[in-house]
Amino acid sequence: MKHVCEKVSRLASEQLERQLTLSERLKMSLHLMMCSACLHYSRNLKKLSETLKLKRNDEEKSLYATTTLPVEKRQHISSVLSKMENAVD
Amino acid sequence: MSQKQLSEMNPQTWLQEHGDVLYRFALSRCKDPDVASDLVQDTLLSAWKSHASFAGESTVSTWLIGILKHKWIDHLRKTIRQREQVQEAEGDPTAWFDHNNGAWKDKPNAWGDDPASLCQNQQFLGTLQTCVDNLPAQQALVFDMRELRGLDADEVCKVCDISATNLHVILHRARLRLRACLDTNWFGK
CATH no. for residue B128? 1.10.10.10
For residue B40, is pLDDT > 50? yes
Residue B128 in this model has a pLDDT that exceeds 50:
yes
B49 and B19 in a common domain: yes
Beta bridge mates, B104: B97
Sign of CA dihedral B18, A66, B71, B172: negative
B97 shares a domain with B178: yes
**Residue B56 and residue B97 in one domain:** no
pLDDT band at residue B5 under the 50/70/90 scheme: low
**Domain containing residue B76: CATH number:** 1.10.1740
Structural domain count of chain B = 2
d(C-alpha B150, C-alpha A56), whole Å = 7
Average pLDDT of span A34-44: 96
- Lowest-confidence pick of A63-67, B31-35, B184-188: A63-67
Rounded mean pLDDT, B34-46? 94
Question: Any idea which of A2-11, A61-70, B87-96, B156-165 has the lowest mean pLDDT?
Answer: B87-96
Q: Please state, in angstroms and rounded to a whole number, the distance separating the CA atoms of residues B109 and B179.
A: 9
pLDDT of residue B161: 87
Rounded to 5°, the CA angle A62-B73-B126 comes to 45
Where among B49, B82, B115 does a domain terminate? B82
Same domain? For B118 and B65 the reply is no
Q: Looking at the complex, does the CB of residue B105 fall below 8 Å from at least one CB of chain A?
A: no
Mean pLDDT score, B67-82? 82
ipTM of model? 0.80
Cβ neighbors of B78 (< 8 A, separation 6 or more) are none
Rounded to 5°, the CA angle B55-B57-B62 comes to: 100
Residues B70, B108, single domain; the answer is no
Mean pLDDT of B81-103: 67
What pLDDT sits at residue B137?
A: 85
Output the CA–CA distances (angstroms, integers) from residue B26 to B7, B145, B168, in the order listed. Answer: 25, 14, 26
Residue B180 resides in a domain: yes
B99 and B159 in a single domain? The answer is yes
B172 touches chain A (CB under 8 A): yes
- Residue B88 within any structural domain of the chain: no
Mean pLDDT of the B17-24 span? 93
Q: Is the pLDDT reported for residue B82 higher than 80?
A: no
**Which pLDDT score, from 0 to 100, does residue B87 have?**
47
Go through chain A and tell me how many residues it has: 89
Q: In the structure, what pLDDT confidence band is assigned to residue B104 with cuts at 50, 70 and 90?
A: very high
Q: Is it the case that residue B119 has pLDDT exceeding 50?
A: yes
Answer yes or no: do B123 and B158 share one domain. Answer: yes
Domain identity same for B29 and B52 = yes
Work out the pLDDT band at A54, boundaries 50, 70, 90.
very high
Rounded to 5 degrees, φ, ψ at A45 are -65, -40
User: Which regions of chain B does DSSP assign to beta strands (E)?
Assistant: none
In the DSSP assignment, the letter for residue B47 is H
Give the whole-angstrom CA distance, residue A24 versus residue A19.
Answer: 10
Least confident of A11-15, B56-60, B113-117, B180-184: B56-60
Q: Where are the domains of chain A?
A: 4-88
3-class secondary-structure state, position A19: coil
Provide the β-strand partners of residue B97: B104
Residue B87 lies in a domain: no
Residue B156 contacts A where some CB pair is shorter than 8 Å: no
Look up the domain containing B59 and give its range. 3-82
Domain stop point among B82, B113, B139: B82
pLDDT at B88: 46
CA distance A89 to B10: 13
pTM of the full predicted structure? 0.77
The answer to whether residue B174 is domain-embedded is yes
| Cβ-defined contact of A44 to B179 (cutoff 8 Å) | yes
Look at residue B169 and tell me whether its pLDDT is greater than 90: yes
| The predicted structure's pLDDT at residue B152 | 87
From chain B residues 5-64, the ones with a CB under 8 A of any chain A CB are 11-12, 15, 19-20, 22-24, 27-28, 33, 37, 40-41, 44-45, 48
Last residue of a domain, one of B41, B61, B82: B82
**Are residue B97 and residue B180 in the same domain, yes or no?**
yes
CA distances to A15, B67, B157 from A82, in Å = 49, 20, 36
| Rounded-to-10 torsion of CA A11, A12, A16, A22 | 50
Same domain, residue pair B67 and B148:
no
Residues B76 and B105 occupy one common structural domain: no
Share the mean pLDDT of chain A.
Answer: 91
Instruction: Give the pLDDT score at B89.
Output: 46
B68 shares a domain with B21: yes
A69 Cβ contact list (under 8 Å, min separation 6): A77, B19, B20, B22, B23, B37, B40
